[in-house]
Structure formats: structure tokens, C-alpha cells
Structure 1
């Protein structure tokens, strides 16, 4: 779906098959293989070597008037994925299949071969910029992991509930008490954001004044998941990085408010992400259908808790690393968005490239920002 055709020995999961080799399909370098069930989502890959794929895929060999590198980019465009969906068959979306006979009926009008190659040159440049940025993100994450190991070494531990006041109550978006309009910080907001800021598109809800008083969030609170379908998603923290008016905590979440003079919110959020802390919270969670933490369980939990000035220094170092990673992630998303826009313009023939633009790269400012 995201990485194209991947060699089996590079996949970190079991890949056994009951098929004999001659039951697979041959793809040669430059061919495209697509997943019949997911082509409408752009699930295809360009082969960089000869190999075999399972018969769940369709193997496409380019004709003389098609550059397969262009076709690969083209098949990821919004227009083509829509056509793949329209020509797929199935009762529900999870059963949609695009067979080759139907694929072959899709009406297309590709540009000439030379124009295809010019388009590939431009789009490949954006892909290289995305790959470079993602490598920088990975390097930054490795650097932060090393810093965490060093900074947390030999730090004292104290009871978790001694460092912060914790409560579990929350506001439901379906509240019948329509007294006041509020912003609801929900499970997905916490799970997908290390920091809670006003830039997040919070869900609108209503709550009583009592609910607001009991659940309002303020700067340096740490919101974390108190129950989940999997134990390893328990106690996933997010720091409330700024005061946001009328922001309240939803269900399935808990709030840890640092006690004055003892805990520092940014440090507590970083400490809760530490591998030792993650293992501890997973061990304390219990349940059958959903795993959850209780206040009784949290009474057994400990957390790294050095003196307050040390907490502040450690948090400043690690927060700076997180800010750099977030900036690079936004850079990568900007590049992907730009590529989608370019693809729409170039493939839709709104823009024509001549020989002067054969080597057009992304703007220098984009590449410079990604390389910092």
C-alpha cells in the first residue's frame, strides 16, 4: 500500500506460503504488480528486480508507448484510484476486486512517451526529497532514543500518584445536558499527538458546568489512555502544551495533573513514554475485551522523579528533539501534498514540460529545510 513491492526477506513478519513456485506470477524489472482487492486504494508496486508474486496480484508489463515509472506514479493519482474503484466489483468495499479484464477496459489517454519521462523526472525528485526527509526523521528518533537512555539512567523512582493527581472521569460527546459548548479531547487526539495544542481539530460537544469543572484541562496536564483493546496502547500520554479555553477530557482517558513542587508535566509525559514505564503500565492493566487501568492499579505504579530542576532540564532537551521531529514530519507531509498537486496538474495536462524542465527538483528551500 505504502512501500510498493517489498522483498520477502525485508518483511518483519511471517511470510510462509502453501503455494509452489510455479503457482506464483512472474514479474520482471519494470513491471507493475497490483493487489486485486486494494487497487482502488492505490495498492501497487513497481518491480526493481525480477521475482515472484502471489496469484492474489495482477502483473502488468508495460507496452512500448508506456514508461512503467510514469504508470506507477499515475496509478497513485486521485483520478486513477477513482477509476480503479469504479471498475472494481464486490458487494462491500472490503470485498471489492479489480480483475485484469475490468482493468483493461478502463479508458485512458496517457501523454506521449517523452512527456511521460519528463513527468517522471519531476515526480521522482519529490519522492527522493520525501525519502531523504523520512531518513532524517528516523535518525532524529534514534538520537532521541539514545538521549532517553542516557538522561534517565539511574534516576530515582517515586510513586506515580505521589507526583500527580489522577482522575478518570470524562465528558461524552452525546451528553444530554446542553448548557455549555465545549471542545472534547478524545482518545484519538491523544493517541496521535504527543502534544495537545489549539491546532488540533477537536470534536464539539456539550456539557454541564459541573462536568466542565471536573474535566477541564489546563497547561501541563498529561492526558493518557486509561483503557484500550490492546495492552500496549495503555497509558499513551499527550502533554497539554497550552491553555485552551473550554477544552475538556473525554471518556477512555485519564488526566495526570502534576503536584506543585513535585512533578513537571513535560517531564512526566516524557517519562511515561520510557520503555520501563510502558512495560509497567502494560503489566498493571487488566481486562478481557478491553485492557484498562484503575486507580488501585496506579497506586502500585512508579515513575522516574528526580528533583524538579532536573526534570525541567531533561524535558527541555527531549522536547527540543520532539519539536525537530514534528517539523520534519510536517515537511514530509508538505512534500507529499505538493507531489499530489503536481501529479494532478502534469497528468491532467494542465501543465506541459519542455526540455528546459527535465531536471526540475523541489524548490531549494524545501530541500534545505529537510537537510538541516
Structure 2
């Protein structure tokens, strides 16, 4: 029942959409596009403007009242958009220089814009507040706000953000707003902007529908897991009596080990998928060795629920527990699900007060977990849970494909390489499917 995982990145690309990835130097995280921003010839019918001719900076100072509550927002990295933070009283907000934002503002985090922290303020966050570490803009009449929200995903846009920042460390860059506003951008007429947005929104709807289906199937899996825990509640055994914590350490470059390692970021939360791998060198830190069908559990920030059961031998970060079942008392496939039960998760995620909490093995090993004593019952339970989990994986691949196709479309449409005619008017797209090959 070993689960096969995609180690190439988990992305599929259709023949119709060819994704052209810009290479990121290894010194930078994936959120950064460090290449030199270059514009080719302006597409026919488009106009080249300095960014400052397209955006208008807006400021709405907020006078905080101690006993009044305020909604705070933040800009997520990797172009994750504008999302809510906490709601605080005025006397709880340390930075007193705050500004209101309104729905439709294009908001950037001056500290994190090089990492893609920007986006349109959604209607539900109208009149929220941000500190002076953010800048809000209105799109001028030449630019549709929704087109700007798509444009921020282009490689060129990301590169201009990075090259408008200075500093010696990628996490401490200082953004120079005036320099950024001088960069030139090629922009299509408003009607073509609307067509581009309408096409991309069809992919957004497909992505949203697939995410909803994944969430529904995930709830079914969690329900079955809860039923399993209730059924065998009276057959609980201390976790440490069922498994062994493997602590075989290896030094990359010294021992006979692969030059790739599974790190925390390679384990996709809640899905059990291992996405890609990380390169290691002789100078790298110690790693742990694991075997196929061991269970990997991310002990650093365990609330992230990073759990995997690899189908291959390898090495991993020491921030990951390598757990191996005692074959006399525990089926290895069931172990993968035991660490996802409420009993185990509740103990593993107990906070230690640290900003980077780690699960405590001494505490976890004494936690009673539901485990039938009969091996045939363990096998049947694992098979049922695995079937529910495996039903999610085709949808995850479909979601990967939709996202990859949208990225490819954006690079084609936002550079003018693919052009859209009247067939792609927003009203026309509501009555028919859109195919990438339709673009002219």
C-alpha cells in the first residue's frame, strides 16, 4: 500500500500551454525573481508607460481611538493576495501611524514586495487599516484594477520589484518606491485588458471548484479517521510501544547517501505528498536516513501537519522525525494514519512558548493512540483510510494542472505573445468553454 509520490514538483503541463519558467538563482527563495527586467518590442496596439503613469498613490490617515476595534490586514508573499489579520483595539496597536484601505486598492508591503506581497483589497476588507510600511494605489484610467492584479503575477513585474530594492540580505531589502514607479510596462487597451482578465477568471473558477472538491474529500477522510479513533478508543496503546524513533544520522558528502534530501518544505501539508527535493553538499548539516514505508513527521511547527510515507529510501532534515513501526504490533501503513489522529496531534502540537515550537518526543511517546491489537483489523482500517486519502490525489493533480495552465496563460497573454479577439469578450465567455488553443 506504499504511496507513490511525485518528486519532480507535482506539476503537469498540457501541450497547449508551454510554461516558460524563469530560473531563480539558488541564493534566492522561490518567491523572488532575480533576473534582469527586460521588455521586448511593444505588441501591436499596446502602449508603453512608466508605472507611475498607471498608478496613483492614495493615503487615508486613521486616527486611532483606544476603545475602538480595527481590522488589520496583511499582504501574503508569493502573490498570495491581501488577507485579514487580527482585530485589535486602538490601545493594542503598537504602531500608531495607520491608514485605511478600501476595496479595489492595490496594496503593497514595502518590506515584502520583492517576495510578491501585494494584491487588490477584497470587498470584505474595505476600511481595514495598515501601517506606514504599506503603500496603497488606485489604478488610473488607462489600467483596469483586475488587470493589474493579474499583471503582478508576470515574471517582469516580479523582477522590477526585486531590482527596485537594495540591501545585503534577501529578507532585509529596502524597497525604493520612486525607482519602481519609473519602470516601463506595456499595457493593452482597456477592452483587451478585460478580455485577458475574463479568460484568466475561467481558470480561477476551475481552480476554485477543484479546491472545493478537495476540501470535501478531505472532510470525508477526516471523518473516517475520527470514526476509526472512536471505534478503537478502548484499545489504545502508548505510541512509543508501537514505533521506533530512528536516529541514524548521516553527514552528506561523507557517507554513501543521495545528494538530495527531503526537507520540511518538500512535504505538502495534509496531503502526504513529497514535492521535489533539496540539494545537499558536503558542508550541509546532519541528515536522518529513512527507508521506504517509514513515516516522516515534521516535528518543527507540528501544527502544519506535515506527514508523509515515502515509497523510496533517502535522507531528510533532522527537523523531521523518522518513525518506523514495530512489525510485531503495528502495521506500517496504519502508522501513517496514527500520527494524524486527534489524540496524537493534540499532544504533538502543545505549545512550548517558543516562536518555533517542536514536538516533544518524551511527551508524544507516552500518548495513548487508538490501535486494534489484531493485525487483520489494522490492515483493513489502513486500507479504508488509504482509499479515502487516495481519492484526493487525482484532484490534487488536476489542481496542479489548472494552476500550471494559468501560469502559462498569464505569461503568454500579459506579454502580448497571444492575442484575444472578440470571441473572448467577458459576456461571450459565460456561455462557452475556453481552450488555450483558441487564443490568436
Identify whether the pair has TM-score above 0.5, normalized to the shorter chain.
Answer: yes
8 Å contact kept, 2:257–2:315: no
**Alignment-derived partner of residue 77 in structure 1:** 154
Distance 2:355 2:189 in 1: 59
| Residues 1:25 and 1:322: Cα distance change in structure 2 (over 3 Å) | same
Q: TM-score, normalised by structure 2?
A: 0.65
Secondary structure of the 1:139 match is helix
Q: Which deviates the most, 351-360 or 76-85?
A: 351-360
Could you tell me which of 232, 237, 250 is aligned with 1:171? 250
Q: CA deviation at 1:322?
A: 2.1
1:330 aligns with 2:397: yes
| Residues 1:348 and 1:189: Cα distance change in structure 2 (over 3 Å) | closer
CA RMSD, Structure 1 to Structure 2 (Å): 3.7
Could you tell me which of 340, 345, 350 is aligned with 2:417? 350
1:151 aligns with 2:228: yes
**Alignment-derived partner of residue 321 in structure 1:** 388
Could you tell me which of 94, 98, 119 is aligned with 1:45? 119
8 Å contact kept, 1:159–1:303: yes
Q: CA deviation at 1:126?
A: 1.4
| Residues 1:298 and 1:62: Cα distance change in structure 2 (over 3 Å) | closer
**Alignment-derived partner of residue 109 in structure 2:** 35
**Alignment-derived partner of residue 221 in structure 1:** 294
Secondary structure of the 2:393 match is helix
Runs (4+) of structure 1 exceeding 6 A deviation are 283-290
**Alignment-derived partner of residue 369 in structure 2:** 303
Q: Which deviates the most, 143-152 or 157-166?
A: 157-166
Distance 2:328 2:128 in 1: 62
- What pairs up with 1:124-139 in 2 under 5 angstroms? 124-139=201-216
8 Å contact kept, 1:190–1:223: no
Secondary structure of the 2:107 match is strand
8 Å contact kept, 1:236–1:273: no
8 Å contact kept, 1:215–1:249: yes
Distance 1:183 1:90 in 2: 32
- Structure 1 spans left out of the alignment, 5+ residues: 207-213, 365-372
Q: Which has the higher helix share?
A: 1
Q: Which has the higher strand share?
A: 2
**Alignment-derived partner of residue 118 in structure 1:** 195
- Cα deviations by residue, 1:35-85 (Å, 9 ceiling, x for unpaired): 222222322222344525423222212222211110111022111110122
- Cα deviations by residue, 1:117-176 (Å, 9 ceiling, x for unpaired): 11011111112222222222222222222222112104111233443444322222142x
Distance 1:249 1:24 in 2: 44
Secondary structure of the 2:404 match is helix
Q: Which deviates the most, 37-46 or 188-197?
A: 188-197
Q: CA deviation at 1:329?
A: 2.7
Q: Which deviates the most, 94-103 or 121-130?
A: 94-103
Could you tell me which of 79, 89, 93 is aligned with 1:17? 93
8 Å contact kept, 1:190–1:238: no
- Structure 2 spans left out of the alignment, 5+ residues: 1-75, 283-287
8 Å contact kept, 2:351–2:357: no
8 Å contact kept, 2:153–2:410: no
**Alignment-derived partner of residue 188 in structure 1:** 264
8 Å contact kept, 1:170–1:250: no
Secondary structure of the 1:143 match is helix
| Residues 1:310 and 1:115: Cα distance change in structure 2 (over 3 Å) | same
